[in-house]
Amino acid sequence: MKKLLRHSILSIGVLASSFLPAISTAADNFPNKPITYIVPFAPGGASDIGGRILSEALSKELKQTVVVENKTGAAGTIGLGQLIRSAPDGHTLSIVVPPNLLAPYLMPTAPYDLSKDVKAVGLTYLTPTVIAINPKFHPNIKDLNALIQAAKDSKNGLNYATVGVGSTGHLSMELLAKDLNIKLEHIPFRGSSPGVTALLAGEIDFMFSDIVSLLSHLDAGTLIPIAVGTDDRLSQLPNVPTIKEQNPKANTISTWTGIVVPAQTPDAIVDKLSAALKKVLESPELQERLTAIGAIPYYRDGAFMQKRIVDDSAFWNKIIQDNNLQQKN
């Protein structure tokens, strides 16, 4: 009996140890094929522009091709759903941004649970938000108070664009409209770029968006910023007051971007991806490129990002429930 027990324990030990080289080899050989980098929004927006900059840098660092794939629709849930269903081998990544956190609380059936369905690789950058108008069609709106007055004076109110139903821009504007007792109509788009195009054409009155999508037009003067959604003024727009400066009731909204993989991806592979992400984001060249488009480089590891997902999800869920916003979508 003792001999049999000893043999069984030894067999279990041998069996368990046999998995270790496989796990190690998987990480050592990673990546061994091209990596798909899912951007769940339309080309031309902050996620797409920043994602292409990062994918290029990661390609060099990982010595493997990283291909950006735009998978649009449903406030980013379609692209993220594709990521969740993909093989958990580290060869499929996806961007995650705050709108992805809101979908489970806004949709009749939650499309996913980010606390269980993904594993965070790390945060990449922050994207400050801006309210912008087209001076060609609204020459008298030069600040937030003028926008508020225009909405009150208009019989039908004003309409505005965001990257989609359930985006942080959408909920922020709904809250602002409620606080100020003004009428605003939401016009959702599949990403920032189509919304900017509509704003330039005069099809919408104003837009609440990330600065990355707007910066070139702000620099050219074809669009005018009337407020920024950060705690402090932006270095790129030092003369533009914050929303809170102009209205103390309003919330400050800055969006972040991070990278995730399927939940069952081995930790060793996630660690390798996170280390590569950290290295490229510490590069002065990459920092300069991100800053030039209006993004703020902001690497934080997977554990930090996972906590941010949980905390921010709880924050937005409370806003949605307290204001009964889920019934509007």
Give per-residue pLDDT as tens, 208-261. 888 888 989 999 999 999 999 888 888 889 999 998 899 887 766 668 999 999
User: What is the rounded average pLDDT of the residues 267-280?
Assistant: 97
Question: Is 198:137 a contact under the CB 8 Å cutoff?
Answer: no
Q: Looking at the predicted structure, is the pLDDT value of residue 111 above 70? A: yes
CA–CA dist 23, 234 (Å, integer): 45
Look at residue 109 in the predicted model and tell me its pLDDT: 86
CA–CA dist 86, 244 (Å, integer): 42
What DSSP character marks residue 109? Answer: S
**Mean pLDDT computed over every residue of the chain:** 87
- Name which of 23, 22, 65, 28 is nearest 272 in CA terms: 28
Between strands 118-133 and 296-301, the pairing is antiparallel
SS3 sequence of 225-258: EEEECCCCCCCCCCCCCEHHHHCCCCCCCEEEEE
Look at residue 5 in the predicted model and tell me its pLDDT: 41
- Name which of 223, 201, 94 is nearest 209 in CA terms: 223
Enter the tokens of residue 282: 């510490």
SS3 181: coil
- Using the structure block, give the residue that is written with the tokens 């899912």: 38
SS3 125: strand
Residue 15's region, left for phi above 0, alpha for psi from -120 to 50, else beta, is: alpha
pTM for the structure as a whole: 0.80
Enter the tokens of residue 82: 């594709």
Share of the chain above pLDDT 70, in %: 89
Enter the tokens of residue 216: 């070139």
Question: Residue 20 — very low, low, confident or very high, per pLDDT cuts 50/70/90?
Answer: very low
Question: Residue 11 — very low, low, confident or very high, per pLDDT cuts 50/70/90?
Answer: very low
Question: Is 255:127 a contact under the CB 8 Å cutoff?
Answer: yes
CA–CA dist 102, 80 (Å, integer): 13
- Interaxial angle between packed helices 98-106 and 302-322, expressed in degrees from 0 to 180 and rounded to the nearest 10: 40
* 70-93 per-position pLDDT tens digit: 998 777 889 999 999 999 999 999
Look up residue 302 and give its amino acid. G
- Name which of 206, 159, 208 is nearest 182 in CA terms: 159
**Omega prior to 128 cis, within 30 of 0:** no
What is the longest distance spanned by two Cα atoms in the chain? 92
Q: Report how many helices (DSSP H) and strands (DSSP E) the chain contains, helices first.
A: 13, 10
